[in-house]
Structure 1
Amino acid sequence: MQIKKGILALLIIFSFAIGGFGTYAVISGLTNDLTEGGVEQGNQQLTEEEYEELLAGLSEQVDMPKIAQAFSLIQENYINEVTDTELIEGAVRGMLETLNDPYSEYMDQETMAQFNEQLESSFEGIGAEVSMIDGRVTIVAPIKDSPAEKAGLRPNDQVLAVDDETLDGLDLLEAVAKIRGEKGSEVTLEIQRPGVNNTLDFILTRDTIPLETVYAETAEHNGQLAGIIKLTSFSEQTANRFIEELDQLEEEGIDGLVIDVRGNPGGLLPVIEDILKHFVTSDQPYMQIADGNDNKERYFSNLDQPKPYPVTVLIDEGSASASEILAISLQETIGAEIVGQNSFGKGTVQSTLNMGDGSSIKLTILKWLSPEGNSIHEVGVAPTIEVAQPDYYYTAPIQLEETLVVDNSDDNIAFAQTMLKGLGYEIDREDGYFNEVTEQAVARFQIDQDLPETGELDQNTADLLQLQIVERIRANEDDLQEQAAIEALF
């Protein structure tokens, strides 16, 4: 059997697209992880002569006969039917898996179409940024106002199964395809949460996920006006919307600015550059980029004068990539305080590379460094002012197999005790032992919610308890991190 030259080229030149008439295109879009990333930003064509020269050069470096032999042996001897396309795509996936890089992925035509869809004004799904960490699909951050956020999914939650089907053996894109779905459909995720012994089941109703990424408001503190801009991701229009809201806040006469990137998984690198150029003056870089040979390039703005007010940045464990660039850049250049908790730790840059048939490769091509040349990859950005939220922000959902009563001990009782305390009920312990004080608190909660006053923790009581906590969190009740960020301004 003869292997066509085009097939061999696909097997070898996995980061370029084989086009018609002997040309290929390198289509580059700097992205973060799945969900918000990816946009075509350029199209550089090579001539047929340049393409042939590249092939010849690669042929000297790659064991082409071995690849062709493996392809031929499988086709001629394998017991089951397998197509050329399956083998080619398998070879491409295999090469990417060899990189051991969770951010480099192969996207077939269907996945690429879904990927591009997410650049539009909305898409359908649960609304969570995910990454593959230590072989497990891991939540980086839920999107604001999404089913994932409303259900209580949190950064670092690991997705073990979808609708009782394990994700073991699937790559990130295959797993995401199972999680996503049409608006109105239900999906059950089995979650392993750090610090929780048992797995948790989350039932979510998929919805349309809007991609509004900028939210602004003001707050008064000691007679001074703080502007607050929350950025949920960095998509195509984020910089323009940020500038619009910033201009409006400045017209209102703000005395300081809080930029909130908690739960922001990142996005497009040029967008964060456009934002930083409004704060970092031209006499210092706002970031650096390094290639695989550690060749560095520094990036500068054209800004002459700094802002006349202080800036603080809010981060947490769900702040990743572009969010981390923003935080550490403003800290190192203008002395912005960073408030919250240590960030996710993603210091690489990806590009989507078109393979010419509707499929693409998302490949790590660069690493970014702080203005002073520091890397945060797999380390994260440390806050200058470390502040945790109240305990009830971090508690797990209560999932009961039986009603819990006095003298029982269970993790779910500890979760309920933390929630009751957060809602203002008297609790004297949060260790999971159901004592009389806990019984009295449950009973008072049941009275307040027009439930039968039993003092026992049943699933109906637990569901209403969790609903009250979620509403309190979404209303920014007791947001200690935001309060600290505002106080740090003045």
Structure 2
Amino acid sequence: MVMAVGAALAIAVNYGLESTLLAPEEVATSPARLPPEFDRLAEAWELLEQDHIDRRTLDATALSNGAMRGMLDALDDPYASFLDRERFEEEESKIQGVFEGIGAQVGIRDNLLTVIAPLPDTPAEKAGILPGDVILAVDGESIEDLSLQEAVSRIRGERGTTVQLLVRHADETEPVLIPITRGVIPLETVRFRMLADGVGHLQITSFASNTNDGVGEALRQFRSSGGRGLVVDLRYNPGGLLGEVVDVTSQFLEDGLVTYELDGQGNRREWEVTSGGGGQDIPMVVLVNQYSASASEVFAGAILDHQRAPVIGETTFGKGSVNTRHRLSDGSGIFYTIARWYTPNGTLIEGSGVAPLVQIDQLPESETDQQLEKAIELLNQQTQGSGGQQY
């Protein structure tokens, strides 16, 4: 089973929490019968085959693909999409570990393909892609009517090839054309440094398969350095693997619930804290912003609901849907939402995000990191004269 809260891959897509992927031999099977409303599809095909001016050259595959896209579009599910065989195989190769592309985390916001953040030291960052950028066209073709996965599959590609993106920056009205040469995307997800006065700065850029190991090593470095308080920085973190965010959250909580999901039938599934966390007694503050999404929202919501530490910054992205991908009998596939995620106390993440305990906006014109400075200030208030956690 592969479950992810977002994905940090080739163009790294913020899909949300991704559910079980069917193996190639586990294709979806045809139902015994379709609802009578679907009889019109067969009627329409028969009429076209009989009367259309181009009836001798009708492409049944292309028409059925169009019907599939139309059906999924009608769901009003921003993550529902149809992928033909070629594009579905590309998605399968991505899951198997092919990490080539531009290195930008993207998601859907206000029905637009929006950059959550470029990954550090990637072609996207070097080309000038910024958080909040809206991607309008790829290689001269509009992506307005494409699903998330269809748009992303056009941006992804082999290293050394170039893609032209028409991008509107968040603070501008006119779009700009940005050429990006694709490359191999590094997967470093944890960065740690000691600041002044025993404050540790732990930045988690996504939740990949090695993130919890990286956090564990950072905690060991923190203790060996005589650290007295920790800032966990989840700004611009688009998500990642569910198992990793549960394990990382468990580094800082003693017990209880990390998150739970509710599906369309009202079934509830819970993820509990795992034992043995190395940072349960460390005074801490969590930093988030509007581009903290999915797994980072699960972490922030759990820390808030357990009253473990203050979360400060901006209300998060609001991506908390559980998505699944199924291969169809002809090798194509569909992607859609099957459930939604909640914080331990029942706050729905999807569409709402996680509101911080202390709202601190980062002013674009500021030359200092105001949010980090506020986090350090709160951390000092926690530890001054007590030597322990006071939140």
Q: TM-score, normalised by structure 2?
A: 0.82
Partner residue, 1:322: 295
Q: 5 Å matches for 1:270-419?
A: 270-282=243-255, 284-303=256-275, 307-392=280-365
Partner residue, 1:233: 206
Shift of 1:209: 1.4
- Identity within the alignment, %: 34
Shift of 1:61: 4.1
Q: Higher relative contact order by CA 8 Å / sep ≥ 6: 1 or 2?
A: 2
Partner residue, 1:141: 117
Amino acid at match of 2:295: A
Contact 2:81 2:150 in 1 (8 A): no
Partner residue, 2:89: 113
Equivalent position SS for 1:168: coil
Cα separation, 2, equivalents of 1:44 and 1:181: 22
> Deviation per CA, 1:304-336, whole angstroms, max 9, x where unpaired?
887111222111121111111111111111432
Partner residue, 1:485: 375
- The alignment's C-alpha RMSD in Å is 3.2
Shift of 1:46: 8.8
Cα separation, 1, equivalents of 2:83 and 2:5: 14
Q: 5 Å matches for 1:217-256?
A: 217-221=193-197, 225-256=198-229
Partner residue, 2:31: 55
Match of 2:48 among 69, 74, 93: 74
Equivalent position SS for 1:270: helix
Larger Rg, first or second structure (1 or 2): 1
**Relative to 1, partners in 2 of residues 1:212 and 1:149: Cα closer, same or farther, differing over 3 Å?**
same
Partner residue, 1:208: 184
Partner residue, 1:458: none
Cα separation, 2, equivalents of 1:254 and 1:247: 10
Shift of 1:373: 0.3
> Deviation per CA, 1:186-242, whole angstroms, max 9, x where unpaired?
433222234423223334333221222222222232xxx233222222223323333
> Deviation per CA, 1:132-162, whole angstroms, max 9, x where unpaired?
4444322222222222223332333211223
Contact 2:238 2:292 in 1 (8 A): yes
Shift of 1:28: 6.4
Cα separation, 2, equivalents of 1:102 and 1:302: 33
Alignment length (residue pairs): 371
Contact 1:230 1:261 in 2 (8 A): yes
List runs of 5+ in structure 1 lacking aligned partners: 1-26, 394-421, 423-477
Contact 2:311 2:358 in 1 (8 A): yes
> Deviation per CA, 1:441-473, whole angstroms, max 9, x where unpaired?
xxxxxxxxxxxxxxxxxxxxxxxxxxxxxxxxx
Cα separation, 2, equivalents of 1:372 and 1:127: 34
**Relative to 1, partners in 2 of residues 1:72 and 1:187: Cα closer, same or farther, differing over 3 Å?**
same
List runs of 5+ in structure 2 lacking aligned partners: 381-391
Cα separation, 1, equivalents of 2:165 and 2:245: 32
Cα separation, 2, equivalents of 1:35 and 1:113: 16
> Deviation per CA, 1:77-123, whole angstroms, max 9, x where unpaired?
44443333223322222221111211222233332333234346662
Shift of 1:391: 2.2
Cα separation, 2, equivalents of 1:177 and 1:261: 27
Partner residue, 1:468: none
Contact 2:27 2:326 in 1 (8 A): no
Contact 1:137 1:159 in 2 (8 A): yes
More strand by share: 2
Equivalent position SS for 1:131: strand
Shift of 1:390: 4.3
Cα separation, 2, equivalents of 1:231 and 1:155: 16
Contact 1:311 1:489 in 2 (8 A): yes
Equivalent position SS for 1:140: strand
Contact 1:141 1:319 in 2 (8 A): no
More helix by share: 1
Shift of 1:300: 2.0
**Relative to 1, partners in 2 of residues 1:340 and 1:43: Cα closer, same or farther, differing over 3 Å?**
same
Q: 5 Å matches for 1:90-101?
A: 90-101=66-77
**Relative to 1, partners in 2 of residues 1:289 and 1:47: Cα closer, same or farther, differing over 3 Å?**
closer
Cα separation, 1, equivalents of 2:363 and 2:34: 61
**Relative to 1, partners in 2 of residues 1:205 and 1:344: Cα closer, same or farther, differing over 3 Å?**
same
**Relative to 1, partners in 2 of residues 1:236 and 1:142: Cα closer, same or farther, differing over 3 Å?**
same
Amino acid at match of 1:296: R
Shift of 1:369: 0.6
Contact 2:158 2:183 in 1 (8 A): yes
Amino acid at match of 1:344: F
> Deviation per CA, 1:46-83, whole angstroms, max 9, x where unpaired?
999xx6xx833xx2645453333233333444444333
Shift of 1:371: 0.8
